[in-house]
Structure formats: C-alpha cells, structure tokens
Structure 1
Amino acid sequence: MSKSKETAELLISHGSNINEKDIYGDTTLHFAAKTNSKETAELLISHGANINEKNKIRETALHIAARNNSKETAELLISHGANINEKNRYGETPLHIAARNISKETAELLLSHGAKNDVTT
C-alpha cells in the first residue's frame, strides 16, 4: 500500500472532507492524478470524490493526469465518468495538455476513449 493511500485512509477515517480545496483549488484527487497514485485515486473515488471538480484554472483531475502522463490514473478517472473533453480556463482539453507535454501514452488513451482531436482553444 502506498504512503499516500495510507494517509488518505487515515484522514477519511477521521472525517476529513476529501473534496476540500487548497489555495489553488486543487483537491486530493488532483494530487493523486499529479503523482499517478491510482490506488489513492480509487480510494478517494470510492468515498465520493468529485471526479470533475475544477481548480482555480478550471482543470479537473484528468487535466492534471494528462499533464503528468499519469496514464493509469487517467484510465481510472475515465472509467468513472471523467469528462474527457472538458476545457480549462484557457480552452484546453486534457488531450491538448497531453499533446503539449508529450504525454503520448495518455494522449493515446484519451483518443481511444473518444477525446475530440478537432477542438479549438
């Protein structure tokens, strides 16, 4: 078990709000996506984490996963209903972000799940 999952379990068991945001609007699910902590993301989702919650620049956990080539976590988010064509403040979808950050595996995953490749920013 990962340390982040253990910590998340501890906080959840003590009644922490898993949808609480930091000063940038990121939730614990955003952080799990950033570090490709699939186990932690699964735990958070099973306890009601909002998959499509946006931070201050209107990015979801899937945008963050795409930026960091967190393919396994991106796949989990998609399987639980993440909006693959959601645009951030700058009009970028997760696919735009994956392409810009050379996250090939995640870009391929997004395309295989129907991400629109003709969306303009």
Structure 2
Amino acid sequence: MSHAVEAGSNEIIKLLISHGVDINEKNDMGFTFLHLAAGHNCKETVELLLSYGLDINKKDVNGFTPLYMATKSNYIETAEFLISHGANINEINEFGETVLQIAEKRNYSELAKLLLSHGAIYH
C-alpha cells in the first residue's frame, strides 16, 4: 500500500482498502499513509485518505504531522489543502518547531505567507 500511496495510485489504494488493508497502519517512523501522501505531494491521495477518516493531525515518532511532511518539501497546494481540511498549523514537533519555523528556515516565503494568512504563530 505504501508504494501505491507514494505514487498517488488512487484506484489501487481503493482496491487494497476494499480487500482489507489496514489504513491506520504505521511504518517504523510512525508515518501513516497520510504522512506518505503529503510527503510525496499527492494531494488527491490525501483527499482520498481523509475520506476514510484518517487523523489529519496524527504525529509520527518525531511529532511530525502530515502538514509538516508537505511543508518540509514546499508542497504548497498539498499544505493548503491540509490546512483547509483542519490541519493544526501551530502544532509543535518533538524539536520544538512549528511548520512556520520550518518554512522560514528553508526560505519557503510563499508557504510562510500562506501559513501566516491562516493564523500561524511563533511559539
């Protein structure tokens, strides 16, 4: 299932889910399928997985959420989609960072503006 998620193969994902794949499964890093989809800029797959009720704010072992995964690679459309569907933009990871701090550290000015426009704050 991980490969299908990373490739954005939504029809295969639906087929696997219909055959009993556990959509709440995590890998060794604590990534859910939603983390993988966000981290591979698969916005349509993010939407599909959310329709199955996955937790949009689920953290991995480092406290990274799916929004963090989209932010670290400057995937603006995926980040905006997650925000518009309830992602917590002020969540703090295990290193004391928010997604706004990640965007600014990496010089992602457009993404930082997006986050600020949705109420991101410094902690």
Query: Quick check: TM above 0.5?
Result: yes
1:76 aligned partner: 81
Match for 2:60: what amino acid? N
2:47 aligned partner: 42
2:23 aligned partner: 18
2:4 aligned partner: none
- Contact 1:67/1:103, CA 8 A, preserved across alignment: no
1:107 aligned partner: 112
33-42 or 12-21: which moved more?
12-21
Match for 2:104: what amino acid? A
Could you list the per-position Cα deviations for residues 14-65 of structure 1 after superposition, in whole angstroms to 9, with x for gaps in the alignment?
2222221000000111111111110000000011111000000011001111
- Tell me if 1:28 matches 2:45: no
Match for 1:66: what amino acid? T
2:66 aligned partner: 61
CA distance in 1, matches of 2:112, 2:9: 26
Deviating runs (4+, > 4 A) in structure 1?
none
Q: Aligned-pair RMSD on alpha carbons?
A: 1.4
CA distance in 2, matches of 1:4, 1:90: 33
Percent sequence identity is: 55
